[in-house]
Amino acid sequence: MLESLKEQFSAHVKNLQNQISQRMKDLDVQIDINEDNWSRLDHIGEDGGGGITRAFEGNIFENAGVNTSEIKGKINPEFAKKLQGDSDQLWATGISLIIHPFNPKIPTVHMNFRMINQGDKVWFGGGADLTPFYPYEEDFSYFHGVWKKACKPYGNYDHMKKTCDEYFVNAHRNNEMRGIGGIFFDHLNTGDLKKDFDMVVDLSNHFIESYFPIVENRMQEDFGQEDVDFQLHRRGRYVEFNLLHDRGTLFGLKTNGRTDSILISLPKRVMYSYKYAPEKGSVYEKMMENYFPKSW
Amino acid sequence: MLESLKEQFSAHVKNLQNQISQRMKDLDVQIDINEDNWSRLDHIGEDGGGGITRAFEGNIFENAGVNTSEIKGKINPEFAKKLQGDSDQLWATGISLIIHPFNPKIPTVHMNFRMINQGDKVWFGGGADLTPFYPYEEDFSYFHGVWKKACKPYGNYDHMKKTCDEYFVNAHRNNEMRGIGGIFFDHLNTGDLKKDFDMVVDLSNHFIESYFPIVENRMQEDFGQEDVDFQLHRRGRYVEFNLLHDRGTLFGLKTNGRTDSILISLPKRVMYSYKYAPEKGSVYEKMMENYFPKSW
């Protein structure tokens, strides 16, 4: 059954990648899409799988990456020990996505779902989290609401929400979160492979519903220079999280992953400033309160 | 003698900080200077020293930090083991500087000189390196020429130049350097404390000569949007190096250093793009060749 589920997961993530790409094209008609089919060698120089990276640059979606990959083959034995299994044979397939919209009223979003098989161990990981720049709290409740609904049959929203709140944190910035969270899980293996598989596929199928209605609702909003300044400042915090703390990014770069596919997660324009503080009483000051764990 | 040299080193770096600040004000008359005198607690909550952070924002120097600090007191015992000595009493004083000019024809520069005393061990570290964005090779030769001259009495330019070429490297970007190097050294202790001290003070006194004449020579140069785009792209690589690889940055953040003083090193405006490549035959393509070790 394992081999069949692996094939199904590969097919599922590619299908999801196409659905999401189509939805982006429908909204941002003139968007540029740069697709790269890349392949890799494994630790001993044999076929190690590869991936499909799709880089988007448009008017609504300033830059985005919607990627799938299927890694297989022998991995470095020292690195193998740091994973769950004790085999140096690894198979890992997943979809990962990051969307940085141009308009600061539309939130940035990240999503990733993956299935991993090392020797006789199999596990799943993933989640989705939102990084908004404007205090439209109804959007945050909507996003969390979709994930709450998605998780309902499995009774795991509270746990996955808390894990997400604890993961996407800039410890060096007074424990501010990079955004307003969502859900996150790792090393998922309940012992019932088919059940885990079905759940992860089901969750991942809620991504489109969780995000694109927010985009459609906000894409016509006006914005000013102050909104852009706050967005670019928060994008700076996003870069800090990804390069200093994100395990996925460091994992990828340290295992000779394809750098351009990994760092596609970085936003096009970013701004840093010394001792940034939002103006007292401004919407940005209000927004800052949302970057700490909260119930939506 | 040690205590007297420590006092002299503290006075020296503060004096150098003032000289450099003055030089920047002379060139960029309306520059904003935001000075913070901060203090810290050591590992057991007692007086742990502090520092003077000077953040600059101007027309010529878009953003810059010229900082001194004097850390003292008890450090975390686990962390103490990772240093040179086996004591948990640390004293460390230094100057660190980063200047990001607005005009892409003026190079970015970084400099740092420090004296460290842990238990009965004393050592020095530091260096200066240049990150230009335009192939004015005479400027690179000039910068290296000043350091070659500075190192001449000590016969260590070749070694320090090589150490610098090997340190400021983005391994995940095909081993590109972040700039064109300079000099770098760490754990310097020849056994003759006074001699080491005199050399480090002497080297640090060459910084002003190594950099500001280049600024004066280039500050009136015209530039276009393509120059800015290349500058912002390379600043992205600068951020990647600082957050992924720079030991000083990670050391500071992981030991509860003052985040704003550490990340003052990041440039104000940055741009990332997927699979960046300079146009064939352009000056930027020519410039890229300089980001690998070369004799100047």
A79-99 per-position pLDDT tens digit = 788 787 678 899 999 999 999
- The whole-angstrom separation of Cα B183 and Cα B163 is 7
Mean pLDDT per 10-residue run, chain B (296 residues)?
96 98 98 94 85 97 97 84 82 97 98 95 97 98 98 98 98 96 96 97 98 98 98 98 94 82 97 95 97 97
Domains and CATH numbers, chain B: 2-288 (3.40.1500.10)
B33-87 per-position pLDDT tens digit = 999 999 988 888 888 899 999 999 999 999 999 999 998 988 888 778 878 777 8
- Averaged pLDDT score across all residues of chain A: 95
Query: Does the beta carbon of A240 lie under 8 angstroms from any beta carbon of chain B?
Result: yes
pLDDT of residue B253: 85
pLDDT band at A100 (very low <50, low <70, confident <90, very high): very high
Helix and strand totals (H; E) in chain B: 10, 10
Question: Which one, of B137, B112, B296, lies nearest residue B214 by Cα?
Answer: B137
Name every residue whose Cβ is closer than 8 Å to that of residue A54 and which is 6 or more positions away in sequence. A17, A21, A33, A34, A35, A36, A65, A66, A67
Q: Please tell me which residue in A12, A43, A100, A110 is annotated as part of the active site.
A: A110
High-pLDDT (> 90) share of chain A, %? 85
Query: Does the beta carbon of A270 lie under 8 angstroms from any beta carbon of chain B?
Result: yes
Question: Which one, of B205, B261, B270, lies nearest residue B240 by Cα?
Answer: B270
Dihedral, A21, A22, A27, A33 alpha carbons, nearest 10: 50
Query: Does the beta carbon of A181 lie under 8 angstroms from any beta carbon of chain B?
Result: no
Residues of B in contact with A273 (CB under 8 A): 63, 268
Q: How many A-B residue pairs are in contact by the CB < 8 A criterion?
A: 74
pLDDT of residue B99: 98
pLDDT of residue A251: 78
- The whole-angstrom separation of Cα A263 and Cα B273 is 9
pLDDT of residue B101: 98
- Paired tokens of B172: 């995940």
pLDDT band at A186 (very low <50, low <70, confident <90, very high): very high
> Out of B55, B243, B274, whose CB is closest to A260?
B274
Helices (H), B131-270: 137-151, 157-167, 193-204, 207-218, 225-240, 247-254, 259-262
Beta-bridge partner residues of B100:
B63
- The whole-angstrom separation of Cα A199 and Cα A183 is 14
Beta carbons of A270 and B269 less than 8 Å apart:
yes
Residues of B in contact with A98 (CB under 8 A): none
pLDDT beyond 90 at A253: no
* Structural Rg of chain B based on CA atoms: 19
> Out of A240, A266, A275, whose CB is closest to B260?
A275
Average pLDDT over residues A40-49: 84
Dihedral, B68, B73, B74, B80 alpha carbons, nearest 10: 40
Beta carbons of B63 and A173 less than 8 Å apart:
no
Average pLDDT over residues A25-29: 98
Residues of A in contact with B36 (CB under 8 A): 275
- Paired tokens of A223: 């914005």
* Structural Rg of chain A based on CA atoms: 19
ipTM of the complex: 0.94
For the beta carbon of residue A138, count every other beta carbon within 10 angstroms.
12
- The whole-angstrom separation of Cα B209 and Cα B125 is 20
Average pLDDT over residues A226-248: 97
State the distance between the two ends of chain B, measured CA to CA, in whole angstroms. Answer: 39
User: Are B163 and B185 spatial neighbours (Cβ–Cβ below 8 Å)?
Assistant: yes
pLDDT of residue A284: 98
Name every residue whose Cβ is closer than 8 Å to that of residue A133 and which is 6 or more positions away in sequence. A104, A105, A107, A108, A227, A230, A231, A234, A287
- Paired tokens of B87: 């004591």
Beta carbons of A173 and B259 less than 8 Å apart:
yes
pLDDT of residue B43: 80
Residues of A in contact with B271 (CB under 8 A): 268-270
> Out of A172, A268, A273, whose CB is closest to B272?
A268
Beta-bridge partner residues of A174:
none
Respond yes or no: is residue B110 known to be catalytic.
Answer: yes
Distance from CA of A143 to the nearest CA of B (A): 28
Find the residue in B nearest to A268 (Cα): B272
pLDDT beyond 80 at A243: yes
3-class state of residue B46 by DSSP: coil
Task: Please tell me which residue, B44 or A1, carries the higher pLDDT value.
Answer: A1
- The whole-angstrom separation of Cα A62 and Cα A103 is 8
Beta carbons of B269 and A269 less than 8 Å apart:
yes
Average pLDDT over residues A100-123: 96
Residues of B in contact with A266 (CB under 8 A): 236, 272
pTM for this one? 0.95
Torsions phi, psi for A278 (to 5 deg) = -70, 155
User: Are B146 and B209 spatial neighbours (Cβ–Cβ below 8 Å)?
Assistant: yes
Distance from CA of B240 to the nearest CA of A (A): 7
Instruction: Calculate the CA A217 to chain-centre distance.
Output: 21
Name every residue whose Cβ is closer than 8 Å to that of residue B199 and which is 6 or more positions away in sequence. B153, B154
Residues of B in contact with A55 (CB under 8 A): 274-275
Beta carbons of B172 and A259 less than 8 Å apart:
yes
- The whole-angstrom separation of Cα B203 and Cα A234 is 39
Q: What stretches of A43-120 adopt beta strand conformation (E)? A: 47-57, 61-74, 89-101, 108-118
